[in-house]
């Protein structure tokens, strides 16, 4: 059985704890064995092992239109 991937590149997600800059939104830049994320507030880039990312991710951040 093939499942549709839950996370994909270009998606904005919220993590369990906010970044020290104060924002909680991250953009997924790369998915693989590790996940490359960019903070939406200060543009800092971090890498997390995929299993750690999946434990910390809380959901997709909805984009505001307008």
Model pLDDT, residue 29: 97
Q: How confident is the model at residue 66 (pLDDT cuts 50, 70, 90)?
A: very low
H or E element, residue 55:
helix 50-56
Q: How many helices (H) and strands (E) in the chain?
A: 1, 5
Q: What is the dihedral of CA 17, 27, 48, 60, to 10 degrees?
A: 60
Model pLDDT, residue 52: 95
Which of 21, 8, 4, 1 has its CA nearest to residue 57? 8
| Tens-digit pLDDT profile for residues 13-55 | 999 999 999 999 999 999 999 999 999 999 999 999 999 999 9
Kindly list the domain boundaries of the chain, sorted by start residue: 12-60
């Amino acid at each position: 059985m093939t499942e549709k991937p839950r996370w994909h590149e270009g998606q904005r997600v919220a993590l369990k704890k906010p970044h020290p800059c104060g924002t909680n939104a991250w953009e997924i830049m790369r998915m693989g064995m590790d996940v490359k994320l960019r903070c939406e507030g200060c543009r800092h880039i971090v890498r997390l092992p995929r299993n750690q990312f999946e434990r910390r991710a809380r959901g997709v951040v909805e984009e505001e239109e307008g």
